[in-house]
Amino acid sequence: MNFLGVIGQHMVDSGLSELWVKCDLMGANAAQHVMAGKGYARVIRTHKLTLQALWQLLLPRLYTYLDEVDVTLRAELSDLCQSVDADHIAQMVDKLTTDRFQQPMKEFAASLAVDDPNAAFWWDYMTMVSTVLCFTRAQRDGLWDLHLYAFKRMLPFFFRYVHINNARWGTVYLAEMSALPPEILLEFQKGNFLVKRSD
């Protein structure tokens, strides 16, 4: 997947690959392969671990921000984070996708960019990894709307890091997929846009 290479381009010379080596997560050569986007399973696993570590560092800062903006939302989010069973995870996903939470998150991201350019850089990385995870889930589970959403979020990064073919043809792809005939759209929304191996 080309987008994994885009993530590597974004993070080159950031010290991330050296951090992976220093933490004994992988060797120097493997870290360079991950930065190049080679070896899909290793790349995804490494970015997931890094994303989780960054969220653990960022969560107290988010809580502090929510204490200033909406204390009840912060309390609800904190309560949901304490439980790990499937019902609470579903509730957490529902809560995180509401406008009540999305608006403060956008404002929090904007405040990061103003207060600390370095934090904004790492926020972009977290956004990119989240996007690739959404795209992977869409491909595995046949979720058409999530597929289009994730692909649309990838496009600005393709432009930013001069992936000309993906940027140029990605916009054409999105335009064509947004104008599908209703019967084809219905099939795609049922998950029939994937090619799956049969038994």
Comparing CA positions, the residue from 134, 154, 147 lying closest to residue 180 is 147
CA separation (Å) from 110 to 105, 125, 134, 135, 150? 9, 15, 22, 24, 21
**Domain span at 137:** 2-188
Tell me whether residue 86 is in a domain. Answer: yes
pLDDT of residue 33: 94
61 part of a folded domain:
yes
Residue 84's pLDDT is 65
Within a domain: residue 97? yes
Alpha helices of 142-194 — where are they, by DSSP H? Answer: 144-160, 164-178, 182-189
Model confidence at 89: pLDDT above 80: no
User: Would you call 169 exposed, middle or buried from its count of C-beta atoms within 10 A (0-12, 13-18, 19+)?
Assistant: exposed
3-state SS record for 15-39: CHHHHHHHCCCCCHHHHHHHHHCCC
Q: Which pTM does this prediction carry? A: 0.87
Whole-angstrom Cα distance, residue 94 to residue 92? 5
Best CA proximity match to 28, nearest among 16, 39, 37: 16
pLDDT at 25 over 60: yes
For the chain, what is the domain count?
1
Is position 199 within any domain?
no
pLDDT of residue 96: 78
Least confident of 40-54, 122-136, 185-199: 185-199
pLDDT band for position 198 (cuts 50, 70, 90): low
Residue 22 has pLDDT above 90, yes or no: yes
Please give the average per-residue pLDDT across 45-54, as a whole number. Answer: 96
Mean pLDDT of 57-75: 88
Report yes or no on 198 lying in a domain: no
Q: Is the pLDDT of residue 47 over 80?
A: yes
Tokens 């599908």 identify what position? 180
What's the rounded Cα separation, in Å, for the pair 67 and 159?
A: 37
Average pLDDT of the chain is 89
pLDDT tier, 194 (very low <50, low <70, confident <90, very high otherwise): confident
3-state helix, strand, coil in the chain (%, to 5): 80, 0, 20
